[in-house]
């Protein structure tokens, strides 16, 4: 045993060796708070010198970080003072303060409640110091910030945790209770209040994170040197902006161990490459399958590693699979409009697929924004008497009614859109990192602060994870298209208005869509909230199957059979209220892929001989995943 009461390998003593509660409390606090001081006593001169040297190195690298950041501001003025409030939140919080001050009684009641909570905290902490062990405050089950045992075992760190949770709850409740704010302003202040509170968590800082303190003492400061090196690399990669690494980007290579399903690019235009995949069965369904992903990030979210590739799995079920791989646009494509995405996207893809396969109809899967475009395509084809060109439609985590768009709606108001459009006008597109930052803010603890702690404070390399590699592979947005999308769908919600949008000189009316539809939503979706996506069941006119999977926007979709990690709910009835649908639904602990396959197979015709790639007119251009997918910014 070491002096800290731990085994030399770092494991804790088993329960049979536990001391009485009062002694155990003092021992735990001693281990957590004071063991480091005794480690200092035990260090040799060389070990103390090593610690001192590492701290000096870390300080030197920090100086370089400051220099790189300052140079980034000089090289790119858009990072500077002109954009100190890019989300236009100052006015919203000014309104909040004004409305709050109009009700002093509510402020007083709230203060009294806070004082009472802190009084209870001091009382329980005092009891613990006297040898009692009252129950500690627990964060939400999915909150992984306080997973280290010291947050419970140490009176000091338990006090920090509980104090933070009390203050966070009080601030959020105080902000939410202010009356007189319009809905958008209220949503905005609530969202950015959560961002502030997430940032202020004691788990994010060196001196208030027991795991970081322990690692610093054990490694004699090597974690700080490695952490500062990681931060410097991220700042340099972001050209003066901190671009946090979420995964080991050297662990994956497109076409080798990710996005590696065999296939060929058989057509391309300015906006997309069309990939046809090599069949793996001797016979295939007569009706081909087109997958239409969002143009935010890359298509290969559906073609990760071999064991979790939806595309590879679908091929194995006997589908002739085509996938649209959208371009990562540059300034030359900045004027591409939503009309262009419709014309050069699904309409062009359908022409090519029909010629190659000889099938006059295609089953189409649309993911997220790709599903929104799918609904527009169906409405367009119906107006022109061509509905039969799409035999069935599958929508994966797709919104068409944007009235309850969740936290993303806080970024959509005139001020923010005008600011965004000004920035896009300088380059012709929205920077990929800007879009990525927005999405990461929706889950800041998981997608921002956990990596700050792991990469910079603990000095660890990010874990190689295919989904996070894909998540970091962001794409730019053409200015014209993106502005149209945000203003007409998110802000004005015109897609659900019959004739509210006109694309390619055609009024769009999605309420007349009669194509059989399979709608897949995910219960923890932070981008397309499932109760918003459910609205489509009350809008489309055709036969509809609605399925709700566990987990979120990505993990809930990428849920291959066999693992049984996430299940799904089904319910043939489609009541107006989504909560009623869920209450009456049946849960199955299996992959929704199997349920979808049963539905899709019935709409895919007879089996025919497996098809060759391309045709005399559309000859293979290059191997999948194609050059468009490989452009990384």
pLDDT over 70, % of the chain: 90
Average pLDDT of the segment spanning 63-75: 84
For the chain, the structural domain boundaries read 21-237, 263-630
Phi and psi of 217, rounded to 5°? -70, -40
Confidence class for position 138, pLDDT limits 50, 70, 90: low
Rounded-to-integer distance, Cα 594 and Cα 550, Å: 15
Report the catalytic residues: 368
Cα torsion 255, 261, 263, 268 to 10°: value is: -60
Whole-number pLDDT of residue 501: 97
Rounded-to-integer distance, Cα 152 and Cα 138, Å: 9
Name residues whose C-beta falls within 8 Å of residue 103's C-beta, 6 or more positions apart in sequence: 178, 179
Q: pLDDT digits over 552-565, tens only?
A: 999 999 999 988 88
Whole-number pLDDT of residue 58: 92
Whole-number pLDDT of residue 97: 87
Containing 491, the helix (H) or strand (E) segment is none
380: exposed, middle or buried (C-beta count within 10 Å: 0-12, 13-18, 19+)? Answer: buried
More confident residue, 507 or 633: 507
Rounded-to-integer distance, Cα 280 and Cα 318, Å: 8
Rounded-to-integer distance, Cα 122 and Cα 133, Å: 13
Name residues whose C-beta falls within 8 Å of residue 166's C-beta, 6 or more positions apart in sequence: 114, 117, 118, 121, 137
Whole-number pLDDT of residue 36: 52
Rounded-to-integer distance, Cα 245 and Cα 440, Å: 12
Average pLDDT of the segment spanning 425-439: 89
Identify which of 63-72, 167-176, 287-296 has the greatest average pLDDT: 287-296
608 DSSP β-pair partners: 284
Rounded-to-integer distance, Cα 532 and Cα 302, Å: 23
pLDDT value at 10 more than 50: no
Phi and psi of 502, rounded to 5°? -130, 120
pLDDT value at 504 more than 70: yes
Rounded-to-integer distance, Cα 586 and Cα 582, Å: 8
Q: pLDDT digits over 285-344, tens only?
A: 999 999 999 998 899 999 999 999 999 999 999 999 999 999 999 999 999 999 999 999
pLDDT value at 89 more than 90: no
Whole-number pLDDT of residue 618: 97
Residue 389 half-sphere exposure, CB side, CA atoms within 13 Å? 22
Phi and psi of 152, rounded to 5°? -105, -40
pLDDT value at 84 more than 60: no
Containing 221, the helix (H) or strand (E) segment is none
Average pLDDT of the segment spanning 174-190: 90
Q: How many CB atoms lie within 10 A of CB 292?
A: 29
Whole-number pLDDT of residue 86: 67
Whole-number pLDDT of residue 27: 41
pLDDT over 90, % of the chain: 69
pLDDT value at 77 more than 60: no
Rg of the chain over Cα atoms, rounded to whole angstroms, equals 28
Predicted TM-score of the model (pTM): 0.87
Confidence class for position 75, pLDDT limits 50, 70, 90: confident
Whole-number pLDDT of residue 161: 92
Confidence class for position 136, pLDDT limits 50, 70, 90: low
Q: pLDDT digits over 330-386, tens only?
A: 999 999 999 999 999 999 999 999 999 999 999 999 999 999 999 999 999 999 999
Whole-number pLDDT of residue 221: 94
Phi and psi of 168, rounded to 5°? -65, -45
Helix and strand totals (H; E) in the chain: 24, 17
Window from 239-253, 378-392, 605-619 with minimum mean pLDDT: 239-253
Q: pLDDT digits over 383-420, tens only?
A: 999 999 999 999 999 999 999 888 888 888 888 899 89
Q: pLDDT digits over 200-232, tens only?
A: 999 999 999 999 999 999 999 999 999 999 999
Cα 162 vs. chain centroid, distance in angstroms?
28
Confidence class for position 85, pLDDT limits 50, 70, 90: low
Confidence class for position 469, pLDDT limits 50, 70, 90: very high
Rounded-to-integer distance, Cα 233 and Cα 410, Å: 32
Whole-number pLDDT of residue 133: 64
Confidence class for position 531, pLDDT limits 50, 70, 90: very high
| Mean pLDDT over each residue of the chain, to the nearest integer | 89
More confident residue, 434 or 73: 434
Architecture (CATH level 2) of domain 263-630: 3-Layer(aba) Sandwich (3.40)
Confidence class for position 500, pLDDT limits 50, 70, 90: very high
Choose among 404, 402, 607, 601: nearest CA to 516. Answer: 601
């Amino acid at each position: 045993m070491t002096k800290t009461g731990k085994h030399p390998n770092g494991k804790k003593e088993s329960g049979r060796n536990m001391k009485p509660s009062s002694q155990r409390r003092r021992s735990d606090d001693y281990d957590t708070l004071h063991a480091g001081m005794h480690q200092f006593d035990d260090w040799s001169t060389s070990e103390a010198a090593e610690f001192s040297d590492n701290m000096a190195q870390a300080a030197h690298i920090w100086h370089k970080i400051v220099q790189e950041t300052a140079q980034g501001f000089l090289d790119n003025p858009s990072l500077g003072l002109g954009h100190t409030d890019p989300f236009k939140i100052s006015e919203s919080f000014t309104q909040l303060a004004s409305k709050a001050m109009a009700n002093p009684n509510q402020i007083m009641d709230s203060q009294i409640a806070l004082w009472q909570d802190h009084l209870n905290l001091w009382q329980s902490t005092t009891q613990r110091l006297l040898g009692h062990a009252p129950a500690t405050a627990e964060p939400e089950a999915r909150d992984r910030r306080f997973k280290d045992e010291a947050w419970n075992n140490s009176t000091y760190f338990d006090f920090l945790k509980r104090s933070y949770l009390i203050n966070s709850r009080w601030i959020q409740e105080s902000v939410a209770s202010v009356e007189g704010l319009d809905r958008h302003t209220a949503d905005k202040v609530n969202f950015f209040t959560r961002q502030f509170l997430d940032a202020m968590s004691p788990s994010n800082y060196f001196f208030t994170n027991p795991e970081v303190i322990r690692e610093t003492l054990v490694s004699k400061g090597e974690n700080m040197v490695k952490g500062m090196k990681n931060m410097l690399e991220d700042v340099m990669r972001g050209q003066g902006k901190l671009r946090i690494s979420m995964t080991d980007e050297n662990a994956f290579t497109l076409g080798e161990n990710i996005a590696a399903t065999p296939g060929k690019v058989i057509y391309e235009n300015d906006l997309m490459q069309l990939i046809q995949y090599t069949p793996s069965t001797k016979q295939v369904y007569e009706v081909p399958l087109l997958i239409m992903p969002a143009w935010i990030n890359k298509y290969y979210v559906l073609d990760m590693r071999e064991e979790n590739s939806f595309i590879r799995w679908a091929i194995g079920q006997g589908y002739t699979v085509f996938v649209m791989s959208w371009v990562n646009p540059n300034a030359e494509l900045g004027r591409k409009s939503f009309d262009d995405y419709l014309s050069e996207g699904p309409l062009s893809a359908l022409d090519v697929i029909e010629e190659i396969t000889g099938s006059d109809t295609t089953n189409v899967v649309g993911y997220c924004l790709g599903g929104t475009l799918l609904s527009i395509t169906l409405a367009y084809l119906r107006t022109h008497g061509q509905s039969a060109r799409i035999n069935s439609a599958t929508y994966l985590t797709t919104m068409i009614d944007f009235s309850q768009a969740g936290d993303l709606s806080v970024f959509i108001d005139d001020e923010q859109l005008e600011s965004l459009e000004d920035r896009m006008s300088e380059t012709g597109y929205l920077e990929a990192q800007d879009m990525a930052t927005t999405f990461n803010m929706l889950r800041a603890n998981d997608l921002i602060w956990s990596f700050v702690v792991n990469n910079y404070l603990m000095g660890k390399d990010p874990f190689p994870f295919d989904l996070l590699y894909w998540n970091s592979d962001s794409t730019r947005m053409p200015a014209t298209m993106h502005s149209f999308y945000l203003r007409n769908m998110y802000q004005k919600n015109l897609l659900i208005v019959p004739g509210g949008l006109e694309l390619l000189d055609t009024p769009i009316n999605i309420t007349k869509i009669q194509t059989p539809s399979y709608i897949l939503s995910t219960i923890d979706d932070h981008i397309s909230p499932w109760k918003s996506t459910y609205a489509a069941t009350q809008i489309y006119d055709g036969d509809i199957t609605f399925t709700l999977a566990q987990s979120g926007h990505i993990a809930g979709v990428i849920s291959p059979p066999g693992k049984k990690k996430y299940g799904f709910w089904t319910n043939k009835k489609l009541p107006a209220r989504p909560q009623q649908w869920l209450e009456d639904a049946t849960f199955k602990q299996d992959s929704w892929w199997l349920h979808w396959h049963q539905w899709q197979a019935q709409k895919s015709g007879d089996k025919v001989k497996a098809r060759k790639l391309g045709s005399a007119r559309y000859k293979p251009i290059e191997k999948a995943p194609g050059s468009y997918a490989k452009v990384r910014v």
